[in-house]
Amino acid sequence: MLKNYIKIAFRNFKNNPVYSGINILGLAIGLSCFIVIMGYIHYEISFDQFHEKADRTYRVTVQQPDYYYLGTNHYATTPAPLEKAISNDFPEVETATTIGKRSLYLSVEDGSFNESGIIATPSFFNVFTFPLSEGDPQTALSSPNSIVLTSALANKMFGKNTPVGKTVTRKDGVEFTVTGIIEKVPENSHFTFDFITAASSDESYFRNIDEWRNSGWYTYIVLKEGTDASQLQSKFPDFIAKYSSSNNKYHLQPLTDIHLRSDINIEISANNNITYIYIFAGIAVLVLLLAAINYMNLAVAQSIKRAKEVGLRKVIGAHRNQLVVQFLSESLLSALLALVLALLLSDLALPLFDVLVDRPLSLAFLQDPKYLAMLLGSALVSGLISGSYPAFCITRLQPNNALKGVQKKESNHFNLRNLLIVGQFATSIILVVGSIVIYQQMQYIQTSDMGYERERILTLNIQSRHMTQNFDLIRQELLQHPRIDEISASLQLPNSIDAQTTIRDWEGSENTEQEQSIYITSVDYDFIDLYDIDILSGRNFSKNISSDTTEGTYLVNETAAKTLGWDKDSAIGKSMAAWGGKGTVIGVVKDFHMHSLHMQIEPLTIYLAPNQFNYISLKLQSSDLSETVNHVTKTLTDFSGYPVSYSFLDDAFDDQYKSELKLNEIVTYFTLLALFIACLGLFGLAAYSAEQRTKEIGIRKVLGASVGSIATLLSKDFIKLVLLGFVIAIPVAWYAMNQWLADFAYRIEIGPDIFALAGISALVIALLTVSWQSIKAALSNPAKSLKSE
């Protein structure tokens, strides 16, 4: 019997290659989207799970109630003495470690390298699981001046020689002894590094070892098994009060939450956002749903053809449940075929997706039985659901009705198939609207006036004191190059000014206690000109006015002027005090976006400090850009003796929207896929409907209907469904995309044009899909179509 079912199933495939192909291909595409996104999600939630004690490791974070910075008062960094205090005071803490981020110039006999790594206290390897291929984790970081390298860096430094015991020299001349080699730092770790140096040899850490007022380190603790983290956290206020008089609140954040659920200040590296995981999961489910709907739709369409077979089998003596089994096994079979195809497809697609999301993904995650079960489950459920209509509805027919073929109600009424098409197009249109909104917002960000120039500006992060002291010399040399127009030195770059201070006692403040937090940065004489920042009133810093350097002078932005109770004209000459000491406001600059557009423009003050800077900005001419860049880096490298790293400001600007740009790209691709799947389904149904109505078309043509009128007749019904889908999609898409845009302080409004664009494109695509079939049917020879009866 089973053999008979399979035989029938295969012959059905063979006889209807278009339907079966569309059916299986559509489901396979849906499933492979699902697989790919599932792989991505699996990878994202695997962050930091590889540590043996991951489930009871926590990072200590600090909330500083009065100190808001970039929209939050929650910080990832803690004071250096916390590790020791917390381990001593709480028996439930098994072990703790402190780490810090360091970029170092490291020299060995064969050369010097600019590497990024971390400093860590001796217990580092008790908290984190990074297996050492050489050296003893218990002692690797316990003596000062020890360094642990990754095997990649060890190879780079020492080639094939045994690195352990060798010496590595830091730029300031301090020598480190290699005490261990880490095989590999997994990429799914929320911090990565090429080396670890003993924290005791870090000057800054050492200086702050008993200082509770400075935060600059990340403290991780491992709790003894069975310890309740929230209970421990409730003991923190008393614990902190013992050591420090601040009103800071300490929190415990699970290690495995850091990558996806932590968005606080001074993270050790940029994290992902759980919202994006939800968005991707949503897209995966939607695309799979679309494919399953397709599959069901075509199965329903085809099943009407099969009614005759059902009737006949009943007449011959088949029980209804035998027929149910037959149909379900048929759809399961094609679902399994689709699954196999989907695995092949996703194996091909994964490398492309890897590039898109910048993650090393592979199908290996399917070895996890949970995920394999999920995948098999979704394939089987899609198969079962789509097979259920023919299995349960068609087999219920009276045999004599079934033998006559079609149920009467089929053609004109609003039936299941139509409902599914509406759902499918509603979903596609929601996705289309989503990708248009994301695209427009990205365009808005990239084209809107930030208030400062960002084209052709090369920026270099300068760490060498030698260079800051000799900046005039460097500037003169660089300006001799014909394609370097301007040079400026500043503490920060205009797209990310993140230093903040609190000012009191400005002219007009209510009393001496009134405080105002304000962003602050220092620049040289050329900064305002180079970045083309508008001065609304007053003047820029000037070399010709000697009091600018001898007395404190400030520029403020419009928002600061307003916040301090001035306007742009009255602000000039007002007194205030910030980092530069007591001074006078000499100008008001137009507001510029010193953070990403997620955030409102906040008060800013700028003071003059030509010799206190971290960045050099150069305005270049557009011709021969790479030659100019080479010239700059060579000059600076020659000068400092170390390689310098540079970037263009517009690239750095784009980096601030990396996750949105990524989202934009991914959503666009999946929207296209979803539309493709929806069209596959529509195409199949149009073909089916044209075939169903072959006789009707023949008769109409014999009676003199034109090709146009027949094509319209056949397309009309489908177009109505797409329009209905559009109507349903509008409110959903509007709500969802407003939620997304709420995250931006500066944003586009979702206008009717976006919906019109989405609706029209869906309609045009649907029309093209359907009309091809309709026109083909309308052009067919009526003699042929009528002959068959």
Partner 1 sequence: MIKLRNIDKYIDKRLQRNFILKGIDLDISEGDFISIMGPSGAGKSTLLNIIGFLDDANEGEYFFLDNPVHNLNEKQKSEYHRTYIGFVFQAYHLIDELTVYENIEMPLLYRKVKGNQRKSMVADMLDRFNIVAKKDLFPNQLSGGQQQLVGVARALIGSPKLILADEPTGNLHSDQSKEIMEIFRKLNKEDGVTIIQVTHSDEMASYGDRVINLQDGVIKETNPYEK
Alpha carbons 33 and 287: distance in angstroms, whole number: 7
Alpha carbons 721 and 415: distance in angstroms, whole number: 11
Closest to partner 1 by CB, 8 or 285:
8
Own/partner pairs for 581-585, CB < 8 Å, 24+ apart? 581/552, 582/552, 583/551, 583/552, 583/553, 583/554, 583/607, 584/551, 584/552, 584/553, 584/554, 585/538, 585/553, 585/554, 585/555, 585/556, 585/561
Contact between 12 and partner 1 per CB under 8 A: yes
Least distance in Å: CB of 698 to partner 1?
20
Least distance in Å: CB of 785 to partner 1?
17
Closest to partner 1 by CB, 308 or 359:
308
Least distance in Å: CB of 407 to partner 1?
15
Least distance in Å: CB of 312 to partner 1?
5
Least distance in Å: CB of 398 to partner 1?
6
Spell out, one character per residue from 491 to 530, where the chain touches partner 1: x when CB under 8 A holds, - when not: ----------------------------------------
Least distance in Å: CB of 303 to partner 1?
14
Please identify, among the stretches 4-12, 380-388, 644-652, 679-687, the one whose residues bind partner 1 according to the rule CB under 8 A: 4-12
Residue 45 burial class via C-beta count within 10 angstroms: exposed 0-12, middle 13-18, buried 19 and up: middle
Residue 225's H or E segment, with its range, is: none
Q: What angle do CA 513, 517, 518 make, to 5 degrees?
A: 135
Backbone conformation region of residue 724, classed left if phi is above 0, alpha if psi is from -120 to 50, else beta:
alpha
Closest to partner 1 by CB, 8 or 672:
8
Contact predicate 611/471, CB 8 Å: yes
Closest to partner 1 by CB, 550 or 788:
788
Please identify, among the stretches 11-19, 159-167, 643-651, 762-770, the one whose residues bind partner 1 according to the rule CB under 8 A: 11-19
Q: Which of 48, 115, 309, 660 binds partner 1 (CB under 8 A)?
A: 309
Pairing of strands 175-182, 74-75: unpaired
Please identify, among the stretches 6-14, 242-250, 448-456, 468-476, the one whose residues bind partner 1 according to the rule CB under 8 A: 6-14
Closest to partner 1 by CB, 384 or 403:
403
Residue 407's H or E segment, with its range, is: none
Name which of 524, 521, 520 is nearest 616 in CA terms: 524
Closest to partner 1 by CB, 101 or 404:
404
Spell out, one character per residue from 394 to 433, where the chain touches partner 1: x when CB under 8 A holds, - when not: ----xxx--x------------------------------
Contact between 6 and partner 1 per CB under 8 A: no
Nearest 10 degrees: CA dihedral of 210, 214, 218, 223?
A: 50
Contact between 11 and partner 1 per CB under 8 A: yes
Contact predicate 59/258, CB 8 Å: yes
Residue 413 burial class via C-beta count within 10 angstroms: exposed 0-12, middle 13-18, buried 19 and up: exposed
Alpha carbons 177 and 154: distance in angstroms, whole number: 12
* Beta bridge pairs of residue 222: 57, 95
Least distance in Å: CB of 397 to partner 1?
11
Q: Residue holding tokens 């790479």?
A: 626
Token output for 247:
């009103």
Least distance in Å: CB of 412 to partner 1?
18
Size of the site for partner 1 (CB under 8 A): 24
Which sign, positive or negative, has the C-alpha torsion 268, 273, 274, 280?
negative
Contact between 311 and partner 1 per CB under 8 A: yes
Which residues have a Cβ under 8 Å from the Cβ of 98 and sit 6 or more positions away?
78, 80, 82, 83, 120, 121, 199, 205, 217, 218, 219, 220
Contact between 314 and partner 1 per CB under 8 A: yes
Least distance in Å: CB of 420 to partner 1?
26
Least distance in Å: CB of 683 to partner 1?
24
* 315-374 positions binding partner 1, by CB under 8 A: 315-320, 322
Contact between 7 and partner 1 per CB under 8 A: yes
Closest to partner 1 by CB, 247 or 398:
398
Please identify, among the stretches 7-15, 51-59, 66-74, 656-664, the one whose residues bind partner 1 according to the rule CB under 8 A: 7-15
Tell me how far the alpha carbon of residue 166 is from its chain's centroid: 41
Least distance in Å: CB of 405 to partner 1?
10
Interface with partner 1 (CB under 8 A): 1, 4, 7-8, 11-12, 15, 308-309, 311-320, 322, 398-400, 403
